Structure 1
Amino acid sequence: MDAAEVETDRPGPDPIRILIVDDHALVREGTRELLSQDDTLVVVGMAGSGEEALEAVAALSPDVALVDVNLPSMSGLELSRALLAQFPSTKVLVLSAYDDYAYVAEALEVGVAGYLLKTATAKELVDAVRAVHDGVFVLDRQVSQRLVRRRETAPTSVGGLTPRETSVLQLLAQGRSNKQIAIEMALGTRTVEGYVSNILAKLGVASRTEAVAHAIRHRLVSPSGHDRTD
């Protein structure tokens, strides 16, 4: 965990205290440099994994945690869930390269304060940090547009499964193991196991093989790797 010294002689309101969580050192350093240009913000620490982030939040009590989705061992969404449960006063702003619906939907289910893409401008990032600190939910404009388009065109239900469960089921149909699914979807293995258990229960089957057969038979997924579209 990298620590940053906090300046104490700034006039006016206390700066917003930020923790940066990303597994790439270059991204962490670049984000810190960007945020440090604003006197109302201060980066109090940085972490390269979920475990480091939990320790950092406990020690530093940041106001806002910038969390990447793709982290080693513990995904950013799993970390977000843990942070919100253990440190509710710290707002979580997801800063991710992924604009896929499944990631965004799960982040919203977890209860993060905002979801911003790494393509955001410096001003958009600073504005987002201030907004979530003030209790305003932030959703990247590009992500918001994709969600609107999906809502207008997508079927209301796919076999009673959530979008993320449907994605897991599709990968099961392609012969992926839990570990492979976890890597591909940037999730923890235990999280994938939980999704698989939910899928089996909802479909009323006892095994992964039965789940795939049921899904193909009822056209929830196709063996060629494409979700049902009709």
Structure 2
Amino acid sequence: MNGDEDPEYIKRDIRVVVVEDHALVRAGMRKLVESFERVTVVGEASDTDQAIAVISELKPDVAIVDLQLPGEGGVAVLKEVAKLAPDTKNLVVTMYDDYAYIVAALEAGAHGYLLKTADRSELKNAILTVATGATVLDTEVAERMQRRWRDAKAPVVELTSRELDVLQAIAKGASNKQIAFQLGIGTRTVEGYVSSLLAKLGVRSRTEAALWAVDHHAIDGTAT
């Protein structure tokens, strides 16, 4: 898909809140995002407390969040948004590319992680992607995560077709209830599949399972 084309699933304007502590950067980010078709900036914030208040009140489709914020920081914002505005998808846009920052953000509820070196089309595509509940990672970040997985020398994992279905849904941000509805099975059955997946993949959380899926091309149904 071309970076300036809107996917077919976009039916209305995506409402966005921009969270960035530097005024000039925030203004530039807002102007850039507002230049995208069918994307509307409905609010902004400059620190942790303000971000939590604005996002919980406006409940935007997407919150663009920097990690370096006055107060408790961006990770704290992600955690609170997950509780107060669970339908809001968090897109981290930051200068930090360290593994620890990436994992902390994803574990806290980020649906996407972009570096500030990203270009216009990458930012637009990231907003459109996370708005659907799917996960998106900056190319450099994804490569860093892949190297981490390769260094771990994980054994080959064999998944059943149903486990692969569940893993793909997790990677796209679906909850257990959503997965149950999509697959026509019970929520408890989904919980069983999730537990089995975490054990088979040797990971501790749904976020790590989603990262495994991205690294091993499981999203397209060809896990390796």
| Fold shared, TM-score > 0.5 on shorter chain | yes
Once residues 88 and 24 of structure 2 are traced to their aligned partners in structure 1, the CA distance between those partners, rounded to angstroms, is 24
Counterpart of 1:143 in structure 2: which amino acid?
V
Aligned counterpart, 1:108: 106
Residue 155 of structure 1 and its aligned partner are, at CA, apart by: 8.7
Once residues 110 and 95 of structure 1 are traced to their aligned partners in structure 2, the CA distance between those partners, rounded to angstroms, is 14
For residue 119 of structure 1, give the secondary structure of its aligned residue in structure 2. coil
Out of 103, 126, 138, the residue aligned to residue 140 of structure 1 is 138
Aligned counterpart, 2:117: 119
Once residues 134 and 97 of structure 2 are traced to their aligned partners in structure 1, the CA distance between those partners, rounded to angstroms, is 20
Once residues 62 and 140 of structure 2 are traced to their aligned partners in structure 1, the CA distance between those partners, rounded to angstroms, is 22
Residue 124 of structure 1 and its aligned partner are, at CA, apart by: 0.4
Say whether residues 1:86 and 2:84 are aligned partners.
yes
Out of 3, 16, 19, the residue aligned to residue 18 of structure 1 is 16
How many residues are paired up? Answer: 145
Aligned counterpart, 2:55: 57
In structure 2, list runs of 5 or more residues that go unmatched: 1-9, 155-224
What pairs up with 1:36-55 in 2 under 5 angstroms? 36-55=34-53
Residue 61 of structure 1 and its aligned partner are, at CA, apart by: 2.1
Once residues 147 and 122 of structure 2 are traced to their aligned partners in structure 1, the CA distance between those partners, rounded to angstroms, is 23
Aligned counterpart, 1:151: 149
Aligned counterpart, 2:73: 75
Residue 37 of structure 1 and its aligned partner are, at CA, apart by: 1.1
Aligned counterpart, 2:173: none
Once residues 132 and 152 of structure 1 are traced to their aligned partners in structure 2, the CA distance between those partners, rounded to angstroms, is 26
Once residues 53 and 37 of structure 1 are traced to their aligned partners in structure 2, the CA distance between those partners, rounded to angstroms, is 22
Residue 52 of structure 1 and its aligned partner are, at CA, apart by: 0.6
For residue 110 of structure 2, give the secondary structure of its aligned residue in structure 1. coil
Counterpart of 2:22 in structure 1: which amino acid?
H
Residue 113 of structure 1 and its aligned partner are, at CA, apart by: 0.8
Aligned counterpart, 2:215: none
For residue 92 of structure 1, give the secondary structure of its aligned residue in structure 2. strand
Please give the TM-score of this superposition, normalised by the length of structure 2: 0.61
Change (3 A) 1:78 1:152: same
Counterpart of 2:47 in structure 1: which amino acid?
S
What pairs up with 1:135-214 in 2 under 5 angstroms? 135-153=133-151
Counterpart of 2:147 in structure 1: which amino acid?
R
Aligned counterpart, 1:193: none
For residue 42 of structure 1, give the secondary structure of its aligned residue in structure 2. strand
Aligned counterpart, 2:192: none
For residue 133 of structure 2, give the secondary structure of its aligned residue in structure 1. coil
Once residues 153 and 135 of structure 2 are traced to their aligned partners in structure 1, the CA distance between those partners, rounded to angstroms, is 27
Once residues 72 and 43 of structure 2 are traced to their aligned partners in structure 1, the CA distance between those partners, rounded to angstroms, is 19
Runs of 4+ in 1 over 6 A off after TM superposition: none
Counterpart of 1:147 in structure 2: which amino acid?
M
Once residues 15 and 53 of structure 1 are traced to their aligned partners in structure 2, the CA distance between those partners, rounded to angstroms, is 21
Change (3 A) 1:36 1:103: same
Counterpart of 2:101 in structure 1: which amino acid?
Y
Of structures 1 and 2, the larger Rg is shown by 1
Out of 95, 100, 107, the residue aligned to residue 97 of structure 1 is 95
Cα pair 2:56 2:81 within 8 Å, conserved: no
Question: Which digits, 9 at most, give the CA deviation of each residue in 1:123-157, with x for residues without a partner?
Answer: 1001100000011111111001011112323599x
Identity among equivalent positions (%) equals: 43
Once residues 113 and 124 of structure 1 are traced to their aligned partners in structure 2, the CA distance between those partners, rounded to angstroms, is 15
In structure 1, list runs of 5 or more residues that go unmatched: 1-11, 157-230
Once residues 21 and 69 of structure 2 are traced to their aligned partners in structure 1, the CA distance between those partners, rounded to angstroms, is 6
Residue 59 of structure 1 and its aligned partner are, at CA, apart by: 2.7
